[in-house]
Amino acid sequence: MCLILAAWGQHPEFPLIIAANRDEYFARPAAPLGWWPAPAGQASSTPAILAGRDLEAGGTWMGFGADGSMAALTNFRDPARLRPEAPSRGRLVPDFITQPGDTRARLAHCARQAEGCNPFNLLGWDGQQLGILESETPSDPLRLLAPGIHGLSNRLLNTPWPKLTRAKAGLAALLPQLSADVLGTAPLTALLHDDRPAPDAELPKTGVPLGWERMLSSLFIRAPGYGTRCTTVALLDQAGTWQIHETTWNACGQWAGRVSMRIPPARL
């Protein structure tokens, strides 16, 4: 997941709105949004996970719990520190969802579980509070967030990269138009399908070649063998119901399918 937007406490009908793009190599196998089966021997009371699935490493980039929780992950781009042998960061999303407790306790658990992982950012919601765990913020890696419009890409939360600035402004402008059905979330999906690169003068310097910085600077990524593979828009209403729409894209950036799922209010 390379672009996540969160509008918390900014809409009268939807306390939390999530819109996100997952960018990945198209050769990497993945399953679309769906309910995961409970692991063998796991107690039936353990929250189920609704998420897409990375079929190579077994984790996920974004997931939702039957208890109303949500977690989403981005990588922190620093090619010099990437270790291929490191454990998968994708396990942190299900770790957050299946862990009991509030957002702070769940993120603290994930921080302990993340030892040895490559750099990452983990956004988490327990049904009441939004928080973040940033592996590259050693002085304060775990913190709860104030209501507002937040954006996360492959740096720290709200880093003013051109793509993030454009995306946050677009989300703010679209809030009055949103409703929970597919048509009502279409403007957000369209926003995240913007493949215009940023001007060279505004590009960040993250350690990748200039050509890649250009391709990675758009909200929707198109690159050889790599790009935006799905767009997810999720709205949590006042009653505690999640309505989630995931659109998948092929290697040409064209529509390839859609899954819509609903999670009713948690029964705790």
Euclidean distance between CA atoms 38 and 197, whole angstroms: 41
Looking at 18-32, 35-49, 186-200, 202-216, which range is the least confident one?
A: 35-49
Centre a 10 Å sphere on the Cβ of residue 79 and count the other Cβ atoms it contains.
10
What HEC string does 209-222 produce? CHHHHHHHCCCCCE
HSE (side-chain half, CA atoms, 13 Å) at 124: 30
What are phi and psi for residue 256, nearest 5 degrees? -130, 0
Euclidean distance between CA atoms 146 and 66, whole angstroms: 24
What are phi and psi for residue 106, nearest 5 degrees? -65, -45
pLDDT of residue 268: 46
Structure tokens, 96 = 């957050």
Euclidean distance between CA atoms 196 and 220, whole angstroms: 8
Structure tokens, 187 = 């403007």
The structural domains of the chain, with segments of one domain joined by +, span: 3-38+45-263
> Taking Cα atoms as reference points, which of 224, 17, 217 lies closest to residue 125?
17
Give yes or no for a contact between 235 and 242, defined as CB atoms under 8 angstroms apart.
yes
CATH of 3-38+45-263, one of 3.40.50.1000, 3.60.60.10, 3.10.129.10, 3.20.20.70: 3.60.60.10
In tens, the pLDDT along 86-126 reads 999 999 999 999 999 999 999 999 999 999 999 999 999 99
In tens, the pLDDT along 175-197 reads 999 999 999 999 999 999 999 99
Q: What is the dihedral of CA 142, 61, 58, 75, to 10 degrees?
A: -60
Q: What is the dihedral of CA 173, 221, 235, 168, to 10 degrees?
A: -30
> Taking Cα atoms as reference points, which of 175, 170, 130 lies closest to residue 11?
175
pLDDT of residue 120: 98
> DSSP H helical segments within the chain, as ranges?
92-98, 103-113, 162-174, 182-191, 210-216
Has this prediction a pTM greater than 0.75? yes
**What one-character DSSP code corresponds to residue 61?**
S
